[in-house]
Amino acid sequence: MFKYRFPKDGTDAQIVVDVSHVLPSYRGQGLGQNYLGGSITVEQDDNMKTRYTGHGTYDNGWNRAAPWSVYFCGYFDSQATWKTFLSKDRKSDEIMMFGSDNATITSSEGRLGAIFAFDGTDITSRVGVSFISTQQACENVDREIPSGTSLETLRNNTRDVWNTEILGKVTSTDKDERKLNQLYTALYFMHLLPQNKTGENPLWKSEEPYYDDIFTFWDTFRCTTSLMHIIHPTAYEEFIRSLIDIFRFEGYVSDARSSFWNGAVQAGSNSDNVLADAYVKGVRGKVNWEDGFAAMVKNAEVTPDNNDDPRDPFGSTKEGRGALPDWLERGYITPRFTRSLTRAVEYSVNDFALHQVAAGLGKMEEAEKYLNRSRNWRNQWNPNLEALGFRGFLGPRDENSGAWLHHDPLDCGGCYWGDLLYQGLSWEYSFNAHHDLSHLIDLAGGNDTFRDRLDMTFEPGQYAGNDQFGHTIFNPGNEPSFGTPYLYNFAGRSDLSIERSRFIARKYFKPTPDGLPGNSDAGAMESWLLWSMLGMYPLTGQTTFLIVAPWFSDLTIHLGEGKTLQIIATGVDEANKSWHVQSLKVNGKPWTRSWVTWGDVFAEGGTMEFELGREAKEWATGPLPPTPASEGYRPLPPVEFPDKHVGQGPLPPPSSEGQDDTELRAIYIAIGASVTGLTILSGIVLLGMWLLARRKKHTAQTMGSFVDDVLGTASRPRVIERLFQQRPLLQQGEQELSERSSTGSSSPEPGEPYRDVVRE
């Protein structure tokens, strides 16, 4: 819905609908959308109210998409005079036809649209979009915003949906307005993408959900998807099913997707990480995990066709793993494939994801194979590379001989599609084998040297770039280093993880319009901040969460079915830097590990009770976090499942079996049908562009105005606890591990269903 208020000084009240409006290329790389033609029809009903319908066809964009069409249906609540227009060609401003005699214009050659003029100053317009037909666009808007709906009613309904489905899932009695502003702003922006387009897929018919606008898993797999699972598990299960359904019909699961087209795979096939994370944390329901694993195997074994992307002419950027030939033949990636070092470490993480799902499905031969392949990042580790007094980093190898090539760990060239590394340094990516950290620490020289290397990462003045961040190697504005501040936990210094993550969050994240250190990237930046606020960091594809310290005196995460995770912190005082853990209880019992598992606190809910103080204290004296790909790990025997649990059906059956959850898909009704549709449509309705700009702005904004304008009082929402009806697969094994940890035992007994090994 658009509401226009024109000045009362005699200014003409005119609204332009330009079907040809598209988004230009951001960096001039030819990635702008292209207008390919369309149509518009203007009509007036018996009450002399005006309606316009039509479609526009477009292609390209950041994912270099094939043509797609957006159908629209717009109503004005007032009588209008109008004129249609048609230009000479698709890019020309020269008008060939202009007049009201043509109620319908269709053209694949010229720009087209209509200009509407009104006598009044207050105009309201309802606009629907569809990717199926004009008729469906009209049905959508008539169903979701019936005639006579006021903007105030729509705003209140939108507020209620957001509070119920998202914002009300995290509550606190803390009164710190700054922290609450950041908390709820981050929750909002984190949930704008992906978009639920179920019922709007023009490519195939399916009983499965359909989600689009994935921008991209390279950005979101580290922090965003795991938090989506916790905040909105029913929608997240639908999202996982949608990914697998895309594989069924198109042959590859999406790593990035928009306008019904895969594209822009930046490095690894990181959909593997997302699927594995969902699997090990118990997402079952109607997910067919045999098909899910087949999608992952396709990524791991079949080289996708080259889509001739000018950004990378040497392999596919559309889907899959474009550098797979080297990975399969050599066990490392040479510079004949761009982004080779980034791909090598990410392919290793991807293969570990396959190991996780294979082990859970009882495919032990495949589990062993992919576990071994997940260690191949080691084949890119050049022990002789040096930087700032440290030796050993990821390095390139010669295409013909396999010999090491010279490389500066603090230089990534352009750090972009055509370089050795993508948006990060070798120094940064050398920390990123989180599944094999114990071996990484050994290669880096042991715990003390590893800690020193981490310290240097955050030391100002050590790197020529990152001037906005004090020339630190660490870049808080980009995803490759998201997990690095927390790696001190693996070296026995969780207090330093707290210091680093707290410094980053306080210095670079603010409740202001420019309050993010980098692009939101579909909520990636916001979700990193949210995990920091919770006092944890997720290791994607594992059940492990690294512990730091929470920001709030109390925080409750509503998990559904009446289950909650309560995080309580006594002694927290941001002003006096009272944020060091003095002691911790988990579910009422003393806790001496700097990590918890999904089964400890999320599967059935739980409590985490922190005592915080100003001075660091050696509280985490228990086993260090698991590094399951490091030596000493043993693949587990097959996990026994009833057949229906491998394919369809819940595990175990939910207490509300048969409940219809389709109403949950309405979460974005008032926000719009899709990012793609609304982006174009907001360009069509030019004078309404500011509305989209506010919604699409990829920076933090103050919660004060946000709450006033859109959401109301977010701290008093109506919470419906009815989500996520299943018990996670690994809960029993994780509980047994917790019991072993308290007795000092550090490795699973044969046959026990636990995939992580504890490192003493």
The pLDDT of 45-60, averaged and rounded, is 91
pLDDT digits (tens, 9 = 90+) for 268-326: 999 999 999 999 999 999 999 999 999 999 999 999 999 999 999 999 999 999 999 99
Q: Is the pLDDT of residue 742 over 60?
A: no
Rounded to whole angstroms, how far apart are CA atoms 285 and 209? 13
The sign one gets for the Cα dihedral 18, 23, 25, 31 is negative
Q: Which helix (H) or strand (E) holds 551?
A: none
According to the 3-state scheme, what is the secondary structure of 484-521? HHHHHHHHCCHHHHHHHHHHHHHHHCCCCCCCCCCCCC
686-to-681, 690, 693, 759, 760 alpha-carbon distances in Å:
9, 9, 11, 59, 62
Q: How far apart are CA 444 and CA 398, in angstroms?
A: 23
**Best mean pLDDT range from 2-11, 92-101, 714-723:** 2-11
Q: Which CATH architecture has domain 172-637+731-743?
A: Alpha/alpha barrel (1.50)
DSSP bridge pairs for 75 = 51, 126
Give the count of beta carbons closer than 10 Å to the beta carbon of residue 406. Answer: 9
Within 13 Å, how many C-alpha atoms sit on residue 437's CB side?
A: 27
Burial class of 51 by CB neighbour count within 10 A (0 to 12, 13 to 18, 19+): middle
pLDDT at 95: 77
Confidence of residue 569 (pLDDT cuts 50, 70, 90): very high
Q: Phi then psi for 517, rounded to 5 degrees? A: -75, -10
Q: Where are the domains of the chain?
A: 2-149, 172-637+731-743
Contacts of 104 (CB under 8 A, 6+ apart): 39, 40, 41, 42
Confidence at 46, pLDDT banded by 50, 70, 90: confident
Mean pLDDT across the stretch 96-121? 86
pLDDT value at position 268?
A: 98
In this prediction, residue 108 has a pLDDT band, given cuts at 50, 70 and 90, of: confident
Average pLDDT over every residue of 30-52 = 90
pLDDT at residue 734, rounded to an integer: 39
Q: Does residue 478 have a pLDDT over 70?
A: yes
From CA 642, how far away is CA 640, in angstroms rounded? 7
Q: Residue 606: what residue type? A: G
Task: Give me the chain's average pLDDT, please.
Answer: 85
List the one residue out of 88, 330, 62, 347 whose CA is nearest residue 214.
62
Using omega within 30 degrees of 0 as the cis cutoff, is the peptide bond preceding 511 cis? no
What is residue 522's predicted lDDT score, i.e. its pLDDT?
97
Which tokens is 584 given? 């911790």
The residue that leads in pLDDT, 398 or 632, is 398
Q: How far apart, in Å, are the Cα atoms of 603 and each of 4, 164, 312, 752?
A: 48, 21, 42, 18
Strands (E), 289-397: 381-387, 390-394
Exposure string for 189-224, b = 16+ CB within 10 A, e = fewer: bbbbbbbbbbebbeeeeeebbbbbbbbbbbbbbbbb
Output the CA torsion sign for 639, 640, 644, 649. Answer: negative
Q: Note the pLDDT of residue 487.
A: 99
648 compared with 86, residue with greater pLDDT: 86
Q: What is the pTM for the complete model shown? A: 0.84
Give the integer Cα–Cα distance in Å for 639 and 461.
Answer: 51
- Of residues 755 and 328, more confidence is placed in 328
Q: Which range has the worst mean pLDDT, 100-104, 267-271, 559-563?
A: 100-104
Distance CA 337, CA 324 (A): 9
DSSP reduced 3-state for 82 = strand
Confidence of residue 98 (pLDDT cuts 50, 70, 90): confident
Query: Measured between alpha carbons, how far is 125 from 682 in angstroms, rounded to an integer?
Result: 12
- Domain 2-149, CATH: 2.70.98.10
Contact assessment for residue 586 and residue 544, using Cβ atoms and an 8 Å cutoff = no
pLDDT over 70 at 239, yes or no: yes
**What pLDDT does 646 receive?**
34
How many Å apart are CA 381 and CA 376, to the nearest integer?
Answer: 9
Range list of H helices, 224-270? 224-231, 233-250
H or E element that contains 350: helix 340-360
Alpha carbons within 13 A on the beta-carbon side of 577? 11
End-to-end CA distance of the chain: 59
**Predicted pLDDT of residue 45:** 80
Q: Which residue has the tokens 């120094």?
A: 427
Rounded distance, CA 83 to CA 114, Å? 6
Burial class (CB in 10 A: 0-12, 13-18, 19+), 318: buried
H helix intervals, 82-176:
134-144, 151-165
**Sign of the torsion angle spanned by Cα atoms 695, 697, 703, 704:** negative
Helices (H), 111-211: 134-144, 151-165, 177-190
Q: What whole-number distance in Å separates Cα of residue 453 and Cα of residue 720?
A: 47
Burial class (CB in 10 A: 0-12, 13-18, 19+), 416: middle
Helix, strand or coil for residue 309? strand
Q: Determine the pLDDT at residue 101.
A: 62
CB atoms closer than 10 angstroms to residue 43: 11
**Which letter, b or e, does each residue of 113-139 get, where b requires 16 or more Cβ atoms within 10 Å of its Cβ?**
bbbbebeeeebbbbbbbbbeebebbbe
pLDDT (mean) for 662-675: 33
Contact 219, 261 (CB under 8 A): no
pLDDT of residue 223: 99
Contact between residue 248 and residue 292 where contact means Cβ atoms under 8 Å apart: no
Phi, psi of 130 (to 5 degrees): -155, 155
